[in-house]
Amino acid sequence: MNSRFLSSPRTAAIVGCPFSGGQPKAGVDEGPIHLVEAGLIDQLKDLGWAVTFDGHHQFEENNNLDDPPIGKLKNPRTVSRVTRSVADVISGHAKAGILPVTLGGDHSLAMGTISGTLEAYPNACVVWVDAHADINTIETTASGNIHGMPVSFLLGVGSKEKEFDWIKPALKPERLVYIGLRDVEAGEKKILRENNIKAYSMHEVDKYGIGKVVEMALDYVNPNRDLPVHLSFDVDALDPSVAPSTGTPVRGGLTFREGHYICEAIHETGLLVALDLVEVNPSLSEAADVKKTVAVGCSLVRAALGETLL
Ligand SMILES: NC(=[NH2+])NCCC[C@H](N)C(=O)O
Ligand SMILES: [Mn+2]
Ligand SMILES: [Mn+2]
């Protein structure tokens, strides 16, 4: 791969984030452990990457007894502390020309990963692949689960809880594009509209096909194909028949191939500087489904790091 921004030899840093504080279901913190145990590190080495892994992060996030809600926000102090430390790790790797591969854990982690990427590459764009827009604000959230809110924090949309003061609203709406949406709340739709945020829902995937959608998405956020790309991939973007073990599954999702195509096409740009693979929850289904979901998680990461079919 001719990577424009990474140092050689090309190195990926596996950042294992066993964190579940952004949502209420136990088990998503086991996601990264399963992905690593499935052999992801050796698989990436086989693709020609140098891979570093210092063990999973220890966030001591359990039992948020001392973390009562602030307004509607659940586990706010814990999520803030954890994502802040993730941001430092990611920006460190990014500044060293290393590709951070963050394994979640819930999607609140993206407040950290994208903050870290933007610190190292202020002009990076974000491709957010998800069934959900994760753009609720303090005002619009019904669940209070922060994994449904990271994008609004990164954009600086909605009012800010001071606990999250450390997050610079460094993401510009024109540097963000969504693919795969199909479960977007009314308040979120309003935010997308009012901020002119580009989103390709499953409707557009059906209409144009995934090849055209990815091309249009990149034309929008990265018209000259010269900006660094952060790919934040929530496994629930895939159809539940493909990735059943996740906390908020929504039917009508991306096929196995459509999900992989997105990763392959972004690899082909040579512009990928950070990858998140989040919301794998091995405790939410039977063993065969867990195996399937973990395997697809690994193969999405491989596709983004250059695995080809031929
Ligand atoms: N990263 C996710 N899986 N997010 C799901 C969010 C669901 C819902 N919109 C909420 O705000 O609670
Ligand atoms: Mn989602
Ligand atoms: Mn998400």
Q: Distance between CA 278 and CA 102 in Å, rounded?
A: 8
Model confidence pLDDT, tens digit, residues 200-230: 999 999 999 999 999 999 999 999 999 999 9
- The number of the ligand 1 atom at minimal distance from the alpha carbon of 278 is 1
Q: Which of 132, 185, 236 best tests ligand 1's pocket when mutated (most atoms within 8 Å of CB)?
A: 132
How high is the pLDDT of residue 289?
Answer: 97
How high is the pLDDT of residue 63?
Answer: 53
- The number of the ligand 1 atom at minimal distance from the alpha carbon of 147 is 1
Q: Is 289 in the pocket of ligand 1 (CB under 6 A)?
A: no
pLDDT surpassing 90 at residue 16: yes
Q: What is the 3-state secondary structure (H, E, C) of the chain?
A: CCCCCCCCCCEEEEEEECCCCCCCCCCHHHHHHHHHHCCHHHHHHHCCCEEEECCCCCCCCCCCCCCCCECCECCHHHHHHHHHHHHHHHHHHHHCCCEEEEEECCCCHHHHHHHHHHHHCCCCEEEEECCCCCCCCCCCCCCCCHHHCHHHHHHCCCCCCHHHCCCCCCCCHHHEEEEEECCCCHHHHHHHHHCCCEEEEHHHHHHHCHHHHHHHHHHHHCCCCCCCEEEEEEHHHECCCCCCCCCCCCCCCECHHHHHHHHHHHHHHCCEEEEEEECCCCCCCCHHHHHHHHHHHHHHHHHHCCCCCC
Q: Distance between CA 135 and CA 95 in Å, rounded?
A: 27
Task: Count the residues in the chain.
Answer: 310
Burial of 60 (C-beta count, 10 Å sphere; 0-12/13-18/19+): exposed
How high is the pLDDT of residue 46?
Answer: 98
Q: How would residue 137 be classed by pLDDT, with cut points 50, 70 and 90?
A: very high
Interval between CA 130 and ligand 2 midpoint (Å): 5
pTM of the prediction? Answer: 0.98
- The number of the ligand 1 atom at minimal distance from the alpha carbon of 143 is 12
How high is the pLDDT of residue 274?
Answer: 98
Residues involved in catalysis: 107, 130, 132, 134, 147, 234, 236, 279
Per the annotation, does 134 bind a ligand?
yes
Q: Is 136 in the pocket of ligand 1 (CB under 6 A)?
A: yes
Interval between CA 130 and ligand 1 midpoint (Å): 10
Total Cβ atoms within 10 A of residue 273: 24
How high is the pLDDT of residue 59?
Answer: 76
Q: Is 161 in the pocket of ligand 1 (CB under 6 A)?
A: no
Q: Which residue minimizes the CA distance to atom 7 of ligand 1?
A: 148
Instruction: Give CA angle at 96 (275, 88), nearest 5°.
Output: 65
- The number of the ligand 1 atom at minimal distance from the alpha carbon of 136 is 11
Give me the chain's average pLDDT, please: 96
Q: Is 152 in the pocket of ligand 1 (CB under 6 A)?
A: no
Model confidence pLDDT, tens digit, residues 150-209: 999 999 999 989 999 999 999 999 999 999 999 999 999 999 999 999 999 999 999 999
Q: Is 107 in the pocket of ligand 1 (CB under 6 A)?
A: yes
Q: Is 61 in the pocket of ligand 1 (CB under 6 A)?
A: no
Per the annotation, does 34 bind a ligand?
no
Residues 6+ apart with CB under 8 A from 29: 18, 19, 20, 61, 105
**What percent of the chain is predicted at pLDDT more than 90?**
95
pLDDT surpassing 60 at residue 1: no
pLDDT surpassing 90 at residue 2: no
